[in-house]
C-alpha cells in the first residue's frame, strides 16, 4: 500500500513538473495534472491538499535532484583536489544555468517562506557551505565562512532574478560572471606572500579546522572559536 501511494505521488509530481516546465504555472490545474498522471482529481487533494502543496512538492523534487548532483560534484572535487575557487565558480555557473532554465521553480524557491521549509533548499545551502569551507581551508578567504556564503547566495539569487526579468534576447551574457568576480574580490585574499590579508586569511583557515583539533578540550576549542570569530568579524573588510 505504501509503495502504491508513493508511485501515485511520483506520477502526479512528474505530470505537474512536465506541465510547469512546458506551459508554465497556469497550466498546472487539477484536471490537467490528473489527466497527465492517470488519476482521479480527489487523489491530488488527498495527497497534496491543494495546488500550492502540489507546486511545493514539484519544486522540492526538482531541487532535490539538482542538489544531489551538486553534492556529488563537490565530493568528487574534494577527492580529486580540484582548485576550491574554480570549484566555487563552477557551482555558481551551474546555479545560474539552473535558475534561468527553470524560471518558475526558481521563483518559487526564492520565496523566503518556501525556502525556509524546503529540505532541498537547505541542503543546497549546505553544498555551498562545503564549497566555501574548502576555500577557507586553502587560506583564501578574508571574511568569515558564513559571510561568504551569504554574499554568494544573495548575489546568485539577484543575478538570476535580474536575468529572468529581462527578455532572453536582451540578457547580458556576462552579467552573472561579472557579479561573481565582484563578490570574489570582496571575499578572497591576495595569494601573494605576505599579502595584506594574510593574517586574516590565516585566521579564517584556522577557524575552519578548529572543530577537528582533537588535541584541545571542548572548552578550549570553543574559546578558540570565539576568539577567531571575534578577530575575523573585526578585521573583515566587508564589515568595516
CATH superfamily of 1-49: Homeodomain-like (1.10.10.60)
pLDDT given at position 239? 47
The CATH number of 56-235 is 1.10.357
pLDDT of residue 151: 96
Task: Tell me, yes or no, if the two domains 1-49 and 56-235 fold the same way.
Answer: no
**pLDDT value at position 129?**
93
At 131, list the grid cell.
Answer: 564549497
Residue 237: the pLDDT is: 58
CB 145 within 8 Å of CB 204 = yes
DSSP class per residue in 120-154: HHHHHHHHHHHHHHHHHHTT-BSS-HHHHHHHHHH
- Residue among 150, 152, 146 nearest 87 (CA): 152
pLDDT at 57: 85
pLDDT tens-place values along the chain, 240 residues long: 455 888 899 999 999 888 888 887 788 888 899 999 999 989 998 998 888 788 888 888 887 777 777 777 767 766 667 899 999 999 999 999 989 988 888 887 788 887 787 787 888 888 899 999 999 988 889 888 999 999 999 999 999 999 999 999 999 989 999 999 999 999 998 654 334 555 777 777 778 878 878 878 888 888 878 877 887 787 665 544
Describe the chain by its helix, strand, coil percentages, rounded to 5: 80, 0, 20
pLDDT at 11 (0 to 100) = 92
Supply the pLDDT for residue 77.
65
Q: What was the pLDDT predicted at 234?
A: 75
pTM of the model: 0.69
Q: In angstroms, what CA-CA distances link 231 with 187, 199, 220, 235?
A: 16, 10, 16, 6
50: Cβ contacts below 8 Å, ≥ 6 apart: none
What ranges do the domains of the chain cover? 1-49, 56-235
**Residue 206 confidence (pLDDT):** 76
In terms of Cβ atoms closer than 10 Å to its own Cβ (0-12, 13-18, 19+), residue 182 is exposed
Amino acid at each position: 500500500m505504501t509503495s502504491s501511494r508513493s508511485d501515485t505521488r511520483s506520477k502526479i509530481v512528474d505530470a505537474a513538473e512536465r506541465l510547469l516546465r512546458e506551459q508554465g504555472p497556469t497550466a498546472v490545474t487539477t484536471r490537467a495534472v490528473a489527466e497527465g498522471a492517470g488519476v482521479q482529481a480527489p487523489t491530488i487533494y488527498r495527497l497534496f491538499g491543494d495546488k500550492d502543496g502540489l507546486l511545493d512538492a514539484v519544486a522540492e523534487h526538482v531541487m532535490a535532484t539538482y542538489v544531489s548532483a551538486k553534492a556529488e560534484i563537490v565530493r568528487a572535487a574534494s577527492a580529486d583536489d580540484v582548485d576550491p575557487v574554480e570549484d566555487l565558480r563552477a557551482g555558481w555557473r551551474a546555479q545560474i544555468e539552473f535558475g534561468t532554465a527553470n524560471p518558475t521553480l526558481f521563483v518559487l524557491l526564492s520565496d523566503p517562506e518556501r525556502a525556509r521549509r524546503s529540505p532541498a533548499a537547505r541542503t543546497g545551502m549546505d553544498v555551498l557551505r562545503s564549497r566555501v569551507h574548502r576555500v577557507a581551508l586553502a587560506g583564501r578567504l578574508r571574511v568569515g565562512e558564513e559571510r561568504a556564503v551569504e554574499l554568494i547566495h544573495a548575489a546568485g539569487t539577484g543575478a538570476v532574478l535580474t536575468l529572468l526579468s529581462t527578455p532572453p534576447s536582451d540578457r547580458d551574457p556576462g552579467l552573472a560572471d561579472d557579479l561573481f568576480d565582484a563578490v570574489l574580490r570582496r571575499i578572497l585574499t591576495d595569494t601573494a606572500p605576505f599579502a595584506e590579508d594574510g593574517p586574516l586569511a590565516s585566521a579564517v583557515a584556522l577557524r575552519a579546522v578548529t572543530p577537528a583539533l582533537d588535541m584541545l578540550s571542548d572548552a578550549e576549542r570553543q574559546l578558540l572559536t570565539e576568539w577567531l570569530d571575534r578577530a575575523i568579524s573585526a578585521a573583515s573588510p566587508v564589515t568595516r
